[in-house]
């Protein structure tokens, strides 16, 4: 028994937190674009945070459930429905056998994550189940989902997930799914920031850009172009000029690097970015704001604001502490529901 793909959606792939430790061999990290939403989706169903999930882009798939599954949907609101009934996001949902999960128009954000209790059973390639389409590795044959694919559960539900399932089954209803009555607080979600201001730290070549370009980069809005993808977000706005001809050696680049090619239009490197780059780097989007970047639709605007390395580190520690607190709160909510 599995989850059958009846329609694949625009770009639906299996992703986890990435293929780490192989960049020196030219293998990209990849993985989910919005790591916060994906981690929370896994937490909701009792999985480890790095379990593989489905990443949906703009237009989601249609999925037929051949047995009962505990799932959660976090990230963008892509008008999810089960048998034409709206599904609540950011909470555990028990889907009944024979039901169909579908998606409609995007309401906010552009990437949504579906986690199932136990995870998805796909091969591990270089310590990861993530799909890297350009390299044709990971996921299901290194490609996006297609009609007819069958997604099997990797392992049995955890005790945590079984407790949720038990509490939901005690309140049996005739609807095709049941969900808990608690959720992630709205202000913790990454999709509630349209046209976001992204915090950055200066890149090693920031001082090589003209004073006017430095000012415009940190004050003006840039539009996300349709040429953006999982490799990088191409932006359009004020041209960024360097003060002299640069002769840079290619060097390692992390996710969030803001490169400026010869046309002066910045590119924010995302999950499937190349392992090295030779363009000048004007800045780096800090880790806690990368989920915001990943949810921006083409045509929307982003702005940049400088912060210190120390502040970026503090914000990251704060986010990790909040996720720990959410895990404790969810465990307490489950305990109360089973009394």
Alpha carbons 123 and 137: distance in angstroms, whole number:
10
Q: Is 203 helix (H, G, I), strand (E, B) or coil?
A: coil
Alpha carbons 4 and 52: distance in angstroms, whole number:
17
In DSSP notation, 106-166 reads -SEEEEEEEEETT-B----BTTB---BTTTTBSTBTTB---TT-EE-B-SPPPHHHHHHHH
Determine which of 12-21, 63-72, 156-165 has the lowest per-residue pLDDT on average.
156-165
pLDDT tens-digit readout, 289-300:
999 999 999 999
Please check whether residue 125 is in contact with residue 9, taking contact to mean a CB–CB distance below 8 angstroms: no
DSSP state of 320: H
* Those residues with Cβ within 8 angstroms of residue 175's Cβ, 6 or more apart along the chain or in another chain: 85
Query: Binning pLDDT at 50, 70 and 90, where does residue 244 land?
Result: confident
Domain ranges of the chain: 3-191, 197-307
197-307 folds as Cyclophilin (2.40.100)
pLDDT tens-digit readout, 59-91:
999 999 999 999 999 999 999 999 999 999 999
Q: Global pTM?
A: 0.95
Alpha carbons 91 and 71: distance in angstroms, whole number:
8
Phi–psi pair at 184, nearest 5 degrees: -75, 135
Query: Binning pLDDT at 50, 70 and 90, where does residue 303 land?
Result: very high
Alpha carbons 157 and 165: distance in angstroms, whole number:
9
Please check whether residue 114 is in contact with residue 53, taking contact to mean a CB–CB distance below 8 angstroms: yes
């Amino acid at each position: 028994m599995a989850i059958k793909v009846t329609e694949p959606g625009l770009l639906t792939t299996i992703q986890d937190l990435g293929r780490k430790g192989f960049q020196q061999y030219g293998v990209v990290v990849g993985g989910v674009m919005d790591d916060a939403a994906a981690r929370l989706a896994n937490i909701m169903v009792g999985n480890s945070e790095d379990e593989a999930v489905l990443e949906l882009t703009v237009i989601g798939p249609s999925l037929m459930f051949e047995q009962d599954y505990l799932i959660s949907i976090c990230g963008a609101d892509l008008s999810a429905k089960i048998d034409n009934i709206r599904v609540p996001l950011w909470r555990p949902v028990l889907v009944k056998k024979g039901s169909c999960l579908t998606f409609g128009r995007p309401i906010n954000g552009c990437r949504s994550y579906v986690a199932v209790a136990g995870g998805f059973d796909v091969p591990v390639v270089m310590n990861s189940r993530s799909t890297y389409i350009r390299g044709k590795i990971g996921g299901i044959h290194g490609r996006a989902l297609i009609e007819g694919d069958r997604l099997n559960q990797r392992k049995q539900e955890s005790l945590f997930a079984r407790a949720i399932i038990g509490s939901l089954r005690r309140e049996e209803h005739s609807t095709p799914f049941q969900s808990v009555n608690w959720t992630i607080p709205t202000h913790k979600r990454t999709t509630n920031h349209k046209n976001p201001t992204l915090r950055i730290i200066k890149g090693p070549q920031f001082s090589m850009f003209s004073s006017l370009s430095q000012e415009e980069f940190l004050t003006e809005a840039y539009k996300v172009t349709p040429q953006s993808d999982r490799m990088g977000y191409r932006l359009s706005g004020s041209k960024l000029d360097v003060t002299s001809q640069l002769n840079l050696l290619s060097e390692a680049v992390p996710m969030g690097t803001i490169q400026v090619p010869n046309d002066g239009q910045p590119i924010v490197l995302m999950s499937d970015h190349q392992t090295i780059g030779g363009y000048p780097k004007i800045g780096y989007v800090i880790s806690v704001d990368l989920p915001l970047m990943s949810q921006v639709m083409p045509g929307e605007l982003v702005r940049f604001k400088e912060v210190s390395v120390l502040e970026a580190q503090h914000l990251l520690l704060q986010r990790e502490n909040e996720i720990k607190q959410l895990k404790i709160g969810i465990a307490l909510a489950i305990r109360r529901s089973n009394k």
